[in-house]
Structure 1
Amino acid sequence: MNQHPAQNFKLTTEPIEQLKGRDQAIVVSLVLNSETVSVERFGAVRKLFVMLRGQALFFDFKSMTVLRSYPVSFGYVDNLDHEPTQAEVLDRVRMVYDGANGKPGLYARFASAIGDAKLPDQAPRYLQVVHVDVTPEAAAVLPDYLKATPTSAQTWAADMVSEAISTRIGVPVIPYSKGHAIGNVMSMQVMDGTVFNLTLPKPDYEIDVTLKNFKKIKYSENAVGTAYIYGSYADISIREPLTGATYLNTSLKNGEVKPVPASQTWVDDFPAYYDSINGLFVKLSEAIAGKDDSWVKSAASASDITSQIDKTTGLMKLCK
């Protein structure tokens, strides 16, 4: 936090108990809402995957109401020739917090989000992924850890969309709450064991997402190896529930090329599928943020996609 000081407010680290009784106090916390530790077996190889997803969450301590939320995440993959020990798993979890291979970990990403965050100086407008559908065709390629509960895949997809929008456009996004919040109240337990029940505001703009399908297509082949295109297909819409106005409503497709050396005896397809679907939402968010829109023009089914992107860009400015 000292290396990435907040630009728009002053932070203090006094104990949270001292906030009781104050007329106004805003708290920011690193809230972890998803943890994945998975071991998959491919012949003699053990693939260890660790992923943590969370939020830089601002809330009003007096009213216990969420004010802003910026999604953060980091994952680490390792391949071992043996079953990972508990110590090896914990070591990789530590890497997810601290960073690895020159990439910032969860702590640094949290600090970066706080450094750039803004607190609303007027009545804020809220954005949230409210509905996610994963078709049976799309679910068929997902790993087992994304099928552990009825909402695992939906939460994974919602977090991916929320983070792409938040990081690329620079807007807060209310956490996806299906399966975690009842009556729009989210329960949060802090490190000392205290439990806070935080009220999630109703979104002014709702995002619906459908993961429709994934496809793997051979692109080229030679003596060195084979290249495949991993394609992903999704629908996304953004609407204002109060008025019924729709800002974005289109199908999208994205392909990423992955070379596979001839010497490789097994191929884990899911990381390539992940790059493809995550890239789809990242590229869409970058187009909304005003960057190159050539991809979205070719990837979207909507004939008026340029007009839709312009309207969505204006909407996002209201949410900052």
Structure 2
Amino acid sequence: MDTQIKSKIKLNRLRAFLFCATALILTSAHSSQALPKIRFSGVSFLGSHSYILSNYPVGLKLNEESDTKSRGDLNKTLLSAIENTPPTGMSLVDDLGHLKAGDDLAVTFAIDYEKVSHEQFGDRIKIIAEISGQIIIFDFSSQTLVANYPIAAASNGLIKSSEDLQLESEKLLSSLYLGDEATDGILQLAAKKLSLIKPERKIGLRFQIKEFNFSETTLMLVPETVNINAEMQYLGQYVSAQLSHQHNVSVLPFVKGYAINNTMAGRFADGAIYNLSLPPPDYTFQFDFMNAKSQIFNEDDLLFACQLNMQFTQAITNKQYINTTLYYGIPKLVAKNQKNIDEWAAYVDCLEVFVDELISQLARPDKKWLKQHGGDNQTSVQFKTKKGLFNG
């Protein structure tokens, strides 16, 4: 091979190398520039002042700041989790507590539900802890919600009846918030979800659970120790989370109980209040918890059944596409030494399982399933009409 040919080959290789290197640099630079800058505003709690104080006792305690320079455990844990799983769709600016007029987008993880319940079996007590919240991205200047992503977590514990029930309940809730070496808490789950989010100002169709109501019959089943508004809030947000998770659609927060005129109130860890305006939904859902009953199922089980009405409506035309009442039942093992049965918790469990399956029907209506749970031929037709909205 002569010298001239060798020189041309080397030149071509050099050109190819330079082209690839330049393309890589430009692509990297473009990707970096394209990432939206989002200001991290920490953990917050949804609701008015009185609602927050009564409904998030453990979360508020964990997030207390000892002085103006110290962050509470929730914020510190969330920041640590974000460092372990950094966002890939945004450039997150850690500027907690320093948001000011003129800032563009901000993000908060807003807690919207905290609950603990108990069941006693002989000399043992089962503790059930539940927490839910949502990642909220908002325009700070206009105080308008841009996007939200619901998240929920639950955990169980078993203690001796001689142990301090309140203390152990707080410990379980704290662990569910903060996580440990073996199990993610809700803050780690939020960080993992945040790492996958690619915020966009232009969102597609928006859905919203406008109502989750209890009938007079079901209201009579609610124990005095249960806050009815908080329970409605939990169930409404649970449906929202399932709708978002199963169908990957944009779901506005369920705001009954902490919103006036579609404006959602909340409080940051430092006590600062925010009020976010929500954009109007394109489609709305209404759920009515109509009835609930329990009966002996077999020697060791009770059957807990619930009846639910669901309505699905286009907001701008007020045209209703689904209006159906269905029922569902789940068996619950009752131990011979069980001293008390938390029937309300069992009904809520029934509703959760019911909702999981019912929401899946929106994209893949199953005539057999709908008929099995109280529907008719018209029910199947209703579900099929708009199933394309949930198959995107």
Supply the distance in 1 between the matched residues of 2:145 and 2:370 (Cα, whole angstroms): 33
Q: Are 2:120 and 2:338, in contact at CA under 8 Å, matched by a contact in 1?
A: no
Instruction: Report the equivalent of 1:217.
Output: 295
2:147 counterpart letter in structure 1: R
Which runs of structure 2 are paired with 1:222-233 in the superposition (5 Å)? Answer: 226-233=300-307
Q: Which structure shows the higher helix fraction?
A: 2
Instruction: Report the equivalent of 2:310.
Output: 236
Which runs of structure 2 are paired with 1:127-146 in the superposition (5 Å)? Answer: 127-146=207-226
Instruction: Report the equivalent of 1:173.
Output: 251
Q: Which structure shows the higher strand fraction?
A: 1
Instruction: Report the equivalent of 1:28.
Output: 107
Unmatched 5+ residue regions in structure 2? 1-81
Q: Are 2:366 and 2:380, in contact at CA under 8 Å, matched by a contact in 1?
A: no
RMSD, aligned CA: 3.1
Instruction: Report the equivalent of 1:91.
Output: 171
How many residues in Structure 1 have an aligned counterpart in Structure 2? 310
Q: Please, what TM-score do these two structures have when normalized by structure 2?
A: 0.69
Q: Are 1:50 and 1:77, in contact at CA under 8 Å, matched by a contact in 2?
A: yes
- Equivalent residue for 1:76, pick from 155, 168, 183: 155
Instruction: Report the equivalent of 1:282.
Output: 356
1:152 aligns with 2:230: yes
Unmatched 5+ residue regions in structure 1? none
Bigger Rg, which one:
2
User: What SS does structure 2 have at the residue aligned with 1:304?
Assistant: helix
Relative to structure 1, the CA distance from residue 198 to residue 249 in structure 2 (aligned partners, 3 Å threshold; closer, same or farther) is same
Instruction: Report the equivalent of 2:262.
Output: 184
Instruction: Report the equivalent of 1:246.
Output: 320
1:15-36 per-position Cα deviation (integer Å, ceiling 9, x unaligned):
15666454x7322211012222
User: What SS does structure 1 have at the residue aligned with 2:251?
Assistant: coil
Q: Give 1:4 shift.
A: 4.7
Q: Please, what TM-score do these two structures have when normalized by structure 1?
A: 0.82
- Equivalent residue for 1:51, pick from 124, 130, 144: 130
Supply the distance in 2 between the matched residues of 1:249 and 1:116 (Cα, whole angstroms): 35
2:259 counterpart letter in structure 1: A
1:305 aligns with 2:379: yes
Q: Give 1:69 shift.
A: 1.5
- Higher mean Cα deviation, 61-70 or 185-194? 185-194
User: What SS does structure 2 have at the residue aligned with 1:247?
Assistant: strand
User: What SS does structure 2 have at the residue aligned with 1:34?
Assistant: strand
Supply the distance in 1 between the matched residues of 2:349 and 2:183 (Cα, whole angstroms): 17
